[in-house]
């Protein structure tokens, strides 16, 4: 467990009324569901192999499925057997509904093949009935294009977090442990970042972000008379799960 200390002024007069509700972006595959695990199960049955999630150590997963051609590998992402056995990750629905009921806007932000959008939307609508996928589903590959229109992004791909103008929650998997240092070093200074192992961790991270956010959506009056003595600073400790200490 790594403690990251961030300093904020003790007295900073600011307009803390947000101009809009919090917007939380959530990746679908391997964040809401266990897609890779389900693909591996079907693949192992097809080829009598013993591949596991622990074997997938880079985000380019194709190389680990040694018995299939490239075309056949990508067919697994829309394979009916995969989606018949796919599961929602524990505490995901309850956490998203909690923040939805608190007035947050929840968006499912996913990179998916055009031919799979309707099927994925139908599956998501069934799992998250409190959302309307017509309004809440965003299909996009370059998630940094969301810019400041989203406040928090939860994703399992490091590349979707680097450089984004939003708070970053990385869902921990073997394929995103290498290169995490680059993600840390390139994070925007106003945005917090967390590595979480499950939805209980994510719930805690969102709660901390909302309590301590000093980001671009807060209007600050930075006149000298409105800023207290910065020599006397408050330290807020953010708990981050650091893969180096596993």
pLDDT at 66 over 60: yes
Mean pLDDT of the chain, nearest integer: 80
pLDDT bracket for residue 232 (50, 70, 90): very low
Query: What is the pLDDT confidence band of residue 227, given thresholds at 50, 70 and 90?
Result: very low
Q: Which tens digit of pLDDT belongs to each residue from 143-186? A: 989 988 899 999 999 989 888 889 999 999 999 987 556 555 55
Asked if the model's pLDDT at residue 20 lies above 90, the reply is no
Higher-pLDDT residue of 106, 193: 106
Q: What number is the average pLDDT over the span 183-193?
A: 61
Model confidence band, residue 228 (pLDDT cutoffs 50, 70, 90): very low
Residues 15-21, mean pLDDT to the nearest whole number: 65
| Between 162 and 126, residue with greater pLDDT | 126
Average pLDDT (216-228) is 37
Bridge partners (DSSP) of residue 234 are 8
Q: Minimum mean pLDDT among 27-31, 50-54, 157-161: which range? A: 157-161
Higher pLDDT, 91 or 113: 91
pLDDT at res. 19: 76
Contact between 157 and 135 under an 8 Å Cβ cutoff? The reply is no
Report how far apart, in Å, the C-alpha atoms of 104 and of each of 24, 98, 136, 141, 200 are.
Answer: 7, 9, 12, 23, 18
Please indicate, yes or no, whether the overall pTM of this predicted structure exceeds 0.85: no
Using CA atoms, how far apart are residues 13 and 177, in angstroms rounded to an integer? 39
**pLDDT for 241 beyond 90:** no
Sequence-separated (6 or more) residues with CB below 8 Å from residue 94: 199
């Amino acid at each position: 467990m790594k403690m990251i200390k961030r300093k904020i002024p003790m007295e900073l007069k600011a307009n803390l009324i947000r101009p809009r509700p919090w917007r939380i972006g959530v990746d679908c595959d391997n964040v809401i569901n266990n897609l890779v695990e389900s693909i591996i199960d079907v693949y192992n049955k097809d080829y009598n192999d013993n591949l596991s999630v622990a074997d997938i150590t880079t985000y380019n997963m194709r190389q680990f499925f040694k018995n299939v051609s490239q075309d056949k590998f990508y067919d697994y992402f829309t394979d009916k057997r995969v989606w018949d056995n796919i599961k929602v990750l524990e505490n995901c629905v309850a956490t998203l509904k909690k923040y939805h009921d608190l007035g947050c806007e929840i968006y499912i932000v996913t990179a998916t093949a055009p031919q799979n959008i309707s099927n994925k939307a139908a599956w998501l609508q069934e799992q998250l009935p409190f959302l309307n996928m017509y309004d809440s589903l965003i299909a996009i590959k370059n998630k940094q294009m969301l810019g400041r229109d989203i406040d928090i992004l939860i994703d399992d791909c490091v590349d979707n977090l680097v450089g984004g103008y939003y708070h970053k929650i990385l869902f921990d998997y073997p394929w995103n442990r290498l290169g995490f240092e680059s993600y840390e070093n390139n994070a925007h200074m106003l945005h917090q970042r967390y590595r979480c192992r499950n939805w209980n961790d994510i719930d805690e991270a969102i709660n901390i972000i909302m309590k301590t956010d000093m980001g671009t959506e807060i209007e600050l009056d930075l006149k000298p008379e409105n800023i207290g003595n910065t020599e006397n600073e408050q330290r807020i400790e953010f708990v981050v799960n650091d893969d180096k200490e596993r």
